[in-house]
């Protein structure tokens, strides 16, 4: 068989650690990588578009999808549900495309259990102080929600040893080069063994 099945890369990070910028750049610059679009029950932020940032579902639609096994993984985060539609991911993998996913720690570990060859990458902010200042500058949320995100960030960062790679995002360019090296390194291996 010459056809190569795609590979899954899961990125997790506290929000504000720069994960979205890294994923956007990987999708722009690395050929043949697709960013999986998750479903969520949380309301859209003002800049978010349906089908681009998320598929925005109501709780009934989300639960119906869980029931018919429509998610590769799903999790509850801050009282809202988030999940990865399984069919779109499988189509891309079968077509030989790599898939990059932005998941919380619970979701990343579910993917690893179901697809043990997936590569998990944790993005760390330089410090919690820096993370707090990035979240406040973004101005997208109330102080109460920012404090909840910071508490959760600490909990998630404590689990980074369960990941295959940890990147500290002090400088976006340097962090991107590390991510690109992980992706390309994996492709090199896959190419050699196929
Ligand atoms: P936000 O509301 O800031 O977009 O995302 C909140 C958290 O949900 C982030 O940690 C993000 O990585 C995570 N998340 C986004 N999509 C999914 C998904 O499909 N599954 C899981 N498990 N987590 C997700």
With cut-offs at 50, 70 and 90, classify the pLDDT of residue 78: confident
Each residue's pLDDT tens digit, 95-107: 999 999 999 999 9
- Does the pLDDT at position 193 exceed 50? no
CA–CA distance from 17 to each of 63, 95, 122, 170, 185 (Å)?
Answer: 30, 31, 10, 9, 23
Look at residue 34 in the predicted model and tell me its pLDDT. Answer: 97
- Each domain of the chain, given as residue ranges in start order, spans 8-188
With cut-offs at 50, 70 and 90, classify the pLDDT of residue 194: very low
Cα 103 to ligand 1 centre (Å):
5
84 CB less than 6 Å from ligand 1? yes
Look at residue 187 in the predicted model and tell me its pLDDT. Answer: 83
Contacts of 151 (CB under 8 A, 6+ apart): none
With cut-offs at 50, 70 and 90, classify the pLDDT of residue 190: low
Under DSSP, is residue 141 helix (H, G, I), strand (E, B) or coil? Answer: coil
Each residue's pLDDT tens digit, 8-23: 999 999 988 889 999 9
104 CB less than 6 Å from ligand 1? yes
Asked whether the beta carbons of 10 and 75 are under 8 A apart, the reply is: no
Each residue's pLDDT tens digit, 137-168: 888 789 998 999 899 999 999 999 999 999 99
- Using only the alpha carbons of the chain, give its radius of gyration: 17
The mean per-residue pLDDT over the stretch 84-98 comes to 97
Quickly tell me which residue has 């999790």 as its tokens. Answer: 75
Which of 48, 104, 112, 145 is the pocket-test mutation for ligand 1 (most atoms within 8 Å of CB)?
Answer: 104
Q: What predicted TM-score, i.e. pTM, was given to this entire model?
A: 0.92
The yes or no reply on domain 8-188 and CATH 3.90.340.10 is no
Q: DSSP H helical segments within 82-127, as ranges?
A: 86-94, 105-114
146 CB less than 6 Å from ligand 1? no
């Amino acid at each position: 068989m010459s056809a190569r099945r795609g590979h899954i890369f899961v990125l997790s990070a506290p929000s504000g650690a720069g994960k979205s910028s890294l994923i956007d750049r990987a999708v722009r610059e690395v050929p043949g990588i697709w960013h999986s679009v998750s479903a969520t029950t949380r309301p859209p932020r003002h800049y978010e578009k349906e089908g681009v940032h998320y598929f925005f579902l109501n709780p009934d639609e989300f639960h119906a999808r869980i029931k018919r096994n429509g998610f590769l993984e799903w999790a509850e985060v801050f009282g809202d549900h988030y999940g990865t539609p399984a069919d779109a991911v499988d189509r891309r993998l079968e077509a030989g495309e790599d898939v990059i996913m932005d998941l919380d720690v619970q979701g990343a570990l579910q993917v690893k259990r179901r697809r043990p060859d997936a590569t998990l990458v944790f993005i760390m902010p330089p410090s919690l102080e820096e993370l707090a200042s990035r979240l406040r500058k973004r101005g997208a949320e109330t102080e109460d929600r920012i404090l909840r995100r910071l508490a959760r960030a600490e909990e998630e960062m404590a689990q980074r040893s369960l990941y295959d790679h940890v990147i500290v995002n002090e400088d976006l360019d340097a962090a991107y080069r590390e991510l690109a090296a992980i992706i390309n390194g994996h492709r090199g291996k896959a190419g050699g063994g196929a």
